Amino acid sequence: MKKINVLKPVLVSNQQRARENRKVFDKMNSLVINIIGSPGAGKTSFIKNIVTNLKTKYKILVIEGDIKGQIDSKTISRLGVDVIQINTVTECHLDAFMTAQALGRIKKKYDLVLVENVGNLVCPAEFEIGEDYKLAILSTPEGDDKPLKYPLLFHLARVIVINKCDLLPYVDFGVGDAIRNIRKENPGATIFEVAAKTGAGFDKVCKHLEKEIHARKKKNTR
Amino acid sequence: MHEFSVTRSLVELCEQEASRNNMKTVRRINLKVGKFTGFSPDSINFYFEHLKADTRCHSACLVFEEIPIKIACRDCHGQHVIEEPTLLCPKCGSDKIELVSGREFFVASIEGE
Ligand SMILES: Nc1nc2c(ncn2[C@@H]2O[C@H](COP(=O)(O)OP(=O)(O)O)[C@@H](O)[C@H]2O)c(=O)[nH]1
Ligand SMILES: [Mg+2]
Ligand SMILES: [Zn+2]
């Protein structure tokens, strides 16, 4: 019997692929956001608000990852922006390979690419797809302890959105507690409080995104 | 769960390494798994039993070694192992900490002939 030292990460191929996707996005000058949250947290509703607010100023692409079906992509394309649907079939997350397939179908340049990952707080966090950063959505009915129960996502996400704030009077959710729990995992996170149903709070989110879109462009025109 | 695709990558990686090193049969795969990952050894084992057929790993077993979550604190300048991934310094309570280990998942070595 012999022993061979390997010392290679198991997900090396996904990480390599994610870096290649990154290069493609860099060429397009796109800000790419990987949106992660539970089923029903409001990922699609969040994207709808962003698209409605920013579509006249920026070219936006939405990539919809879903286990099956096209409901979300139909909803988004009705708003008049380009949508690419990826059906993950058996997988509970998008990975860099599935994203690469979608990239092959892109014909234009976009300022902003919003990726709706599969509804799940665990698996999507592990797989990079070539994004600039991860954005986590936590909705108030889910409870303010979720950041402690799913620490990896809240640790990795650069932006965290607390959605369904219109329901605060009816649910057992302390915004202060939620923010404290998020800060324990991720002291530097940017946190927004919104209600995708009413549009409340999106002025701040959009201002932040606009700043990032411009910063992204500067970075690439070196 | 995502352990299916993870296990597929694992088998592919070991297959490549075995073939590059002329190892016909892999008997043992030594893995290191950080405690701050979502990977469950049980489900990786479950998928491995299916995926290893018809590969050089067909009679291999998986051996997991856990890597603890370790943080470095910028305030008290210590390094500490923590049990739960609540990212606060257990000594001084500071949140100015960096993750030193706990996010890894890699193949340390393979054994066989
Ligand atoms: N009350 C309330 N409902 C919301 C809000 N955002 C989304 N919803 C509802 O929550 C449900 C799931 O939203 P959806 O965007 O499809 O979630 P996704 O599964 O994360 O994409 C839908 O019925 C939405 O209308 C909100 O801010 N307040
Ligand atoms: Mg959706
Ligand atoms: Zn300390």
Q: Whose CA is closest to atom 23 on ligand 1?
A: A40
Q: Which residues contact A178 (CB under 8 A, 6 or more apart)?
A: A138, A144, A146, A147, A162
Give the C-alpha separation, A111 to A121, whole Å: 27
A193 touches chain B (CB under 8 A): no
Question: Which ranges of chain A have pLDDT less than 70?
Answer: 89-90, 220-222
Sheet containing B61-67: order of strands: A2-9, B105-112, B26-34, B61-67
CB contact under 8 A, A1 and B111: yes
Which of ligand 1's atoms lies nearest the C-alpha of A164? 27
A195 lines ligand 1 (CB under 6 A): yes
> CB atoms < 10 A from the CB of B17, how many?
20
A125 touches chain B (CB under 8 A): yes
Give the C-alpha separation, A20 to A100, whole Å: 8
Predicted pLDDT of residue A220: 64
Distance A84 CA to ligand 2 centre (A): 14
Q: For the whole model, what pTM was predicted?
A: 0.81
- In DSSP notation, B68-104 reads PEEEEETTT--EEEESS---S-TTT--S-EEEEES--
Predicted pLDDT of residue B1: 55
Q: Which residues contact A92 (CB under 8 A, 6 or more apart)?
A: A67, A118, A120, A122, A123, A124, B1, B2
Residue B56 class from Cβ within 10 Å (0-12 exposed, 13-18 middle, 19+ buried)? buried
Predicted pLDDT of residue A222: 46
Question: Which ranges of chain B have pLDDT less than 50?
Answer: none
A40 lines ligand 1 (CB under 6 A): yes
A80 lines ligand 1 (CB under 6 A): no
CATH number of the domain enclosing B31:
3.30.2320.80
CATH for A7-136+201-220 (3.40.630.30, 3.40.50.620, 3.40.50.300, 3.10.20.30): 3.40.50.300
Using CB atoms and an 8 Å cut-off, which of residues 9-68 of chain B contact chain A? 9-10, 12-14, 17-18, 21, 23, 27, 31, 36-39
The structural domain count of chain B equals 1
Residues measured by CB to lie within 5 Å of ligand 3, the ion: B 73, 75-76, 89, 91-92, 94
Quote the domain boundaries for residue B36.
2-112
- In DSSP notation, A77-144 reads HTTTSEEEEEE-TT-SS--HHHHHHHHTT--S--SEEEEE--S-SSHHHH---S-SEEEEEEEGGG-T
- Record the tokens describing residue A174, joined without a space: 């302390």
- Per-residue pLDDT tens over the stretch B91-103: 998 888 888 898 8
A197-201: long-range pairs with CB below 8 Å, 24+: A197/A45, A197/A164, A197/A166, A198/A166, A199/A49, A200/A165, A200/A166, A201/A165
A201 lines ligand 1 (CB under 6 A): no
Task: Label the pairing between strands B79-82 and B69-73.
Answer: antiparallel
- Per-residue pLDDT tens over the stretch A119-150: 989 888 888 999 999 999 999 999 999 999 99
Q: Which residues contact A116 (CB under 8 A, 6 or more apart)?
A: A35, A43, A44, A47, A62, A63, A64, A65, A66, A72
Maximum pairwise Cα distance, chain B: 53
